[in-house]
Amino acid sequence: MIDVDRIGRSFRVRGTTVHAVRDLSFRVGAGEFVGYLGPNGAGKSTTIKMLTGILAPTSGRVTVAGLDPSRRRTALAREIGVVFGQRTTLWWDLPLRDSFELVRLLYKVDRARFRERLDEMTTRLGLGDFLGTPVRQLSLGQRMRGDITAALLHDPSVLVLDEPTIGLDIVSKAEVRAFLRELNTEHGTTVLLTTHDLGDIERLCRRVMLIDHGRLAFDGTVDELRATVPGETSIEDVVAHLYLSSPAPRTRPHHPGEDPPIATA
Ligand SMILES: Nc1ncnc2c1ncn2[C@@H]1O[C@H](COP(=O)(O)OP(=O)(O)OP(=O)(O)O)[C@@H](O)[C@H]1O
């Protein structure tokens, strides 16, 4: 479903080259729920931007649902839903319901199918009380549920989430997690989840990938991740240990032919 083959992405910043992602390869199969972890600046958002076609890789190849994201953005939009927890895709001044109607028109979703899907999401995410409220008046938890709905109204096969539980209280977090779990198990939607909240990882993900300095440093189950640091049982302590044991600075000038060291899991 997601096939990443030795991709890299660099940026020129004030005369130096920042390698945000280097030689990154992984595959995510249909129906998987995969967590994508890494310290600040590790390259997670850059990866997601390449998977969703916002950025083209500077090297390597990526396909999502069989499509090259940066070249087939319109076709990909039908296959993928994306939620950026720190930004909204909803129309700020419009009632939530009208934002959804605009999404329906943009994605050319059949009216009956849309109605059915929105009813289902309204029930599952408890949107009923604020469908008529302008987005700017929604609480963060309400807005996030609106953003998740907007990303799923066209029934994509892949959902990419960038910090979907950031800033949510424990009840909202639990509701969003329960919804995502059901979406994956009952609907078979493939999910890639980026988060700094290890509760999301423990409660939702069968598989975890850890990126550091733009490279894949770990790919396995949560239990295998835990076992990488003998004596540590808390996932938070294990991940902190892996981040701290990473010896290189996160950005540095490029020296041709030389790669910075990475943390090994
Ligand atoms: N448009 C850009 N121009 C220049 N440098 C960039 C750009 N986007 C990202 N970078 C750099 O690439 C590196 C990886 O950034 P990225 O946003 O992918 O990290 P991240 O893992 O998502 O971090 P965080 O957890 O803090 O969101 C960082 O050093 C960042 O400064």
Query: What's the angle, vertex CA 185, arms to CA 6 and CA 99, rounded to 5?
Result: 80
- Backbone dihedral angles phi then psi of residue 253, each to the nearest 5 degrees: -65, 150
Q: How far is the CA of 121 from the centre of ligand 1 (A)?
A: 33
Instruction: Give residue 153 CA to ligand 1 midpoint distance, Å.
Output: 29
Q: What is the reported pTM? A: 0.88
The CATH 3.40.50.300 domain(s) of the chain lie at: 1-79+156-265
| Residue 152 and residue 183 in contact, taking contact as beta carbons nearer than 8 Å | yes
Residue count (the chain)? 265
- Residue 247 confidence (pLDDT): 57
pLDDT of residue 251: 41
pLDDT at residue 265, rounded to an integer:
31
Kindly report, residue by residue over 202-244, the tens digit of the pLDDT.
Answer: 999 999 999 999 899 999 999 999 888 888 778 888 888 888 8
pLDDT confidence of residue 231: 82
- Which of 7, 44, 215 best tests ligand 1's pocket when mutated (most atoms within 8 Å of CB)? 44
Per-residue pLDDT of the chain (265 residues; tens, 9 = 90+): 999 999 999 999 999 999 999 999 999 999 999 999 999 999 999 999 999 999 999 999 999 999 999 999 989 999 999 999 888 999 999 999 999 999 999 999 999 999 999 999 999 999 999 999 999 999 999 999 999 999 999 999 999 999 999 888 998 899 999 999 999 999 999 999 999 999 999 999 999 999 999 899 999 999 999 888 888 778 888 888 888 887 554 443 333 343 333 333 3
For domain 1-79+156-265, give the CATH number.
3.40.50.300
For ligand 1, which residues put their CB under 6 angstroms from it?
Answer: 11, 13, 18, 20, 38, 40-46, 250-251
- The pLDDT of residue 264 is 34
d(CA 101, CA 111): 9
- Token pair in block for residue 80: 């993928």
Distance 215 CA to ligand 1 centre (A): 13
Q: How far is the C-alpha of 112 from the C-alpha of 115, rounded, in Å?
A: 5
| pLDDT at site 79 | 94
In the DSSP assignment, the letter for residue 134 is B
Q: Give the residue, by CA position, lying nearest to ligand 1 atom 27.
A: 40
pLDDT of residue 260: 38
**To which residue do tokens 């994605």 refer?**
107
Closest C-alpha residue for ligand 1 atom 6: 11
Q: What is the pLDDT of residue 233?
A: 75
Closest Cα to atom 2, ligand 1: which residue? 11
Cα–ligand 1 centroid distance for 20 (angstroms):
6
Distance 143 CA to ligand 1 centre (A): 25
Q: What's the pLDDT score for residue 248?
A: 52
Query: 41 alpha carbon to ligand 1 midpoint, in Å?
Result: 5
